[in-house]
Amino acid sequence: QKEVEQNSGPLSVPEGAIASLNCTYSDRGSQSFFWYRQYSGKSPELIMSIYSNGDKEDGRFTAQLNKASQYVSLLIRDSQPSDSATYLCAVYAAGNKLTFGGGTRVLVKP
Amino acid sequence: EAGVVQSPRYKIIEKKQPVAFWCNPISGHNTLYWYRQNLGQGPELLIRYENEEAVDDSQLPKDRFSAERLKGVDSTLKIQPAELGDSAVYLCASSREAGVYNEQFFGPGTRLTVL
């Protein structure tokens, strides 16, 4: 079992719709969770961090964390073509090591 | 605030040749990370520095990879000799401190192609 798992996609979303991305992790002791956006040929860009159970909103992005079920999700509201990218989930696991999932590719179609 | 700086951005070498990558972290960031990202995968940690001390190098292939962070600022990652399987993007990241609540910020990366 991978430490951090994501559906590779692609997740195809119509412009203006909500994109919903999920991530599960194996280390029950994980304390902090991050979402990065990575455009093709570019480096990862931090878009959200979440540490407590519940929702955290930042603009069109909402991160949701459920530690009991060991999943974290990212919602992108009013999806735009510029949101087309790969979204990486990252989790701090044992030993202060940030572990990344393989990423979910999102395609927003006009 | 300037971001993480890396050079070169691209490097093409023949196998068995040496190669070096340079990274300058965000000013004031004490912790520096080197990651390797293969196509279609997430970044994987190679080494983490807290100031000038390498505190986690368990994933660094020490037979051919080496790294240093002189004076606790800039860092260099070296591969000697390079193998075909080393082709990847090498990413440098930094954070203000170590620890699970510290956000990591990435540089633009160096895309290495080994022929």
Mean pLDDT, chain B, rounded, equals 96
pLDDT at A96 > cutoff 90: no
Q: What percent of chain B shows pLDDT beyond 90? A: 90
Smallest Cα distance from A85 to chain B, Å = 12
How would you classify residue A9: left for phi > 0, otherwise alpha for psi between -120 and 50, otherwise beta?
left
Cβ distance B56 to A96 less than 8 Å, yes or no, reads yes
The predicted model gives A79-94 an average pLDDT of 94
pLDDT of residue A77: 98
Residue A89, C-beta contacts closer than 8 angstroms, at least 6 positions apart? A4, A6, A21, A23, A25, A33, A34, A35, A72, A74, A100, A101, A103, A104
Cβ–Cβ contact B106 with A under 8 A: yes
Is B109 at the interface with chain A, CB within 8 A? yes
Tens of pLDDT, residue by residue over B80-112, are: 999 999 999 999 999 999 888 999 999 999 999
Closest CA to A48 of A39, A36, A60: A36
Band the pLDDT of B70: cuts 50, 70, 90.
confident
User: Is B105 an 8 Å CB contact of chain A?
Assistant: yes
- Residue A109 pairs in a beta bridge with A14
Q: Kindly determine whether residue A43 and residue B106, on different chains, have CB atoms separated by under 8 Å.
A: yes
Q: How far is A108 from chain B (nearest CA, A)?
A: 19
pLDDT of residue A67: 95
Report, as an integer, the average pLDDT of B7-26. 98
Residues A50 and A48: their CA atoms lie apart, in Å, by 7
Main-chain dihedrals φ then ψ at residue B55, nearest 5 degrees: -105, -15
Q: What is the pLDDT of residue A2?
A: 76
Q: How many CB pairs under 8 A join A and B?
A: 52
Considering only the beta carbons, identify the residue of B40, B99, B107 that sits closest to A96: B99
Q: Which residues of B touch A21 (CB under 8 A)?
A: none
Q: What is the mean pLDDT of residues A3-7?
A: 95
* B100·A8 Cβ contact <8 A: no
Q: Are strands A104-109 and A11-14 parallel, antiparallel or unpaired?
A: parallel
The Cα–Cα gap between B109 and B22 comes to 10
Which band of pLDDT confidence, cut at 50, 70 and 90, is reported for residue B71? confident
- Per-residue model confidence as pLDDT tens digits over A25-77: 999 989 999 999 999 999 999 999 999 999 999 999 999 999 999 999 999 99
DSSP β-ladder status, B110-114 and B10-13: parallel
pLDDT tier for residue A95 given thresholds of 50, 70 and 90:
confident
Which amino acid appears at position B43 of this protein? P
Question: Span B39-66, mean pLDDT?
Answer: 94
CB–CB contact A49 B41 (8 Å): no
Measured between alpha carbons, how far is B18 from B16 in angstroms, rounded to an integer? 7
Min distance B17 CA to chain A CA atoms (Å)? 25
Do residue B42 and residue A90 have CB atoms under 8 angstroms apart?
yes
pLDDT at B1 over 80: no
